Structure 1
């Protein structure tokens, strides 16, 4: 059945997928007749969308009906579910139903189950966790290949560190670099990329590194740079939690006597075992107990931000506390 369900926090990736689907389905000369979108605040948006998708397309191309930011997979009234079950199996082959949402579908709901049953594509567009650097580098490599841009391995690492998991920024920077390198068969070097890419010298991983070494001054300065760059507090905390959790798991495996890097990588959910050596060096002077002690503080910070505490003051306080935990490092 021509039914597509896209969800996730990577808005830019979803936009690209929607654009590709729209270009594939619609004939440009008949778009105004065959393309309809419904916002979630429109009355009976789902029912209207289902009725519309049953209408045969006019002229050339197909029909596309888009339910934007729908909550159909989080909450589905009985009347809507009944209409869904009646309509999905009989949608005309040249009519396409698209549903997008930032929220993960609730697998327990009947609406989710029936959509998965009939969907041509049921796809998640999630942001890569900022601490999973190997996946960020892979994303840079894929984007560069798509754009026909040649980059060295080191350049891809620099670009990944600069843009993080911001997919929109990544593609914007890749396009800029592609235009700069037009006509050249040589891969761009690190100096060129550093000069051209938007200045994001401070990121949450650097904040985590400063906290790990107990460098309060650097940590607070990095936090201030992140705040000035409008980095959301909850995103900063998510990165810190992920990084300290990884460090803790690596340290526990080392303390248990494990020396196999692949085994440590599997336990710490790290895709590239070669990173284990560097992670081992990073946690060399921290104890398991110190790393464990950071997690309740990070959890308190996350809860405070979710309850509406002022981002910067709350973050500053907890960053100082975290640095103090890490300052009593093992000798």
Structure 2
């Protein structure tokens, strides 16, 4: 069925998928006649889109109707649900319906079940959590292969550290490296990446490490660099919470007597069991109680930011508190 449902927070990856679909189904000469986008603020956008997709395309190519940021999979009025049930099974083969949203579809809704039943593609574009470094490295490796850029393993790690889960920035940096490499088949090494890639050499994981070490001055300096680089404060806090939670789980499981890296990795939700050894070394200097006491401070920081507290002041305050907590031996 020519129905596509895309959702998630990785806007850039979704944009690329939409552009690929658009280029595949539309004839450029007839795109202005056969390409319709409907935003949620338009009256009865869903009904209008379903009516449009039943209209035969003009000239060559197919028709594409895009319901932008639709709420059909979060809240679907009865009249829209009825129209969906009537229209989806009979959409012509030369017409395509695309629905996009940042929010995850509610699997309990009849509208979501209908779309899953008839969709050719029901796809999530999620951002990789910044603390899942193995997945970030894997993403860089996969994207580099897709773009046609050869990198050494160490260069891949450095690039993953520099761009984090920013897919747009990853593609921009890979295109820069590709331009530099030219026709060379030689894998680009760490020296090339560090020279070309925009990187403050500071990220939220380094901030977490400085806080764990109780190095207040270093932690505040990294924070200042992150804020100056326009890193969203809630993203910083999400990374800190994820990292400290992983450290806590590893410490808790190890102190309970578990020694099997695979079992520890499974319980701590660490995808690579080989990383467990390094995580154990990272938490050696801290007691279990210290790690337990850190999480409420980070969760309080997240709540304060969401309630509109002064960003830099509350970040600095909580980071200092956690550094002081981690200094106690």
Contact (CA 8 Å) 1:305, 1:311: kept in 2 or not? yes
Supply the distance in 1 between the matched residues of 2:150 and 2:218 (Cα, whole angstroms): 35
Q: CA deviation at 1:287?
A: 1.1
Match for residue 163 of structure 1? 163
What is the DSSP-based 3-state SS (H/G/I as helix, E as strand, rest coil) of the residue aligned with 2:265?
Answer: helix
Matches within 5 A, 1:31-50: 31-50=31-50
Contact (CA 8 Å) 2:213, 2:326: kept in 1 or not? yes
Q: CA deviation at 1:139?
A: 0.7
What is the DSSP-based 3-state SS (H/G/I as helix, E as strand, rest coil) of the residue aligned with 1:274?
Answer: helix
Q: How many residues get paired?
A: 329
Q: CA deviation digits over 1:146-181, x for unaligned, max 9?
A: 111111111100000000000000000000001100
Match for residue 324 of structure 1? 324
Q: CA deviation at 1:200?
A: 3.1
Matches within 5 A, 1:1-331: 1-329=1-329
With normalisation by structure 1, the TM-score equals: 0.97
Supply the distance in 2 between the matched residues of 1:324 and 1:56 (Cα, whole angstroms): 68
- Structure 1 runs (4+) deviating above 2 angstroms are none
Contact (CA 8 Å) 1:163, 1:200: kept in 2 or not? no
Q: CA deviation digits over 1:6-55, x for unaligned, max 9?
A: 00000000001001111111111111111110111111111111110010
Supply the distance in 2 between the matched residues of 1:310 and 1:72 (Cα, whole angstroms): 36
With normalisation by structure 2, the TM-score equals: 0.98
What is the DSSP-based 3-state SS (H/G/I as helix, E as strand, rest coil) of the residue aligned with 1:138?
Answer: helix
Supply the distance in 1 between the matched residues of 2:309 and 2:4 (Cα, whole angstroms): 39
Q: CA deviation digits over 1:263-315, x for unaligned, max 9?
A: 11111111111111111110011111111111111111111111111211111
Supply the distance in 2 between the matched residues of 1:318 and 1:67 (Cα, whole angstroms): 42
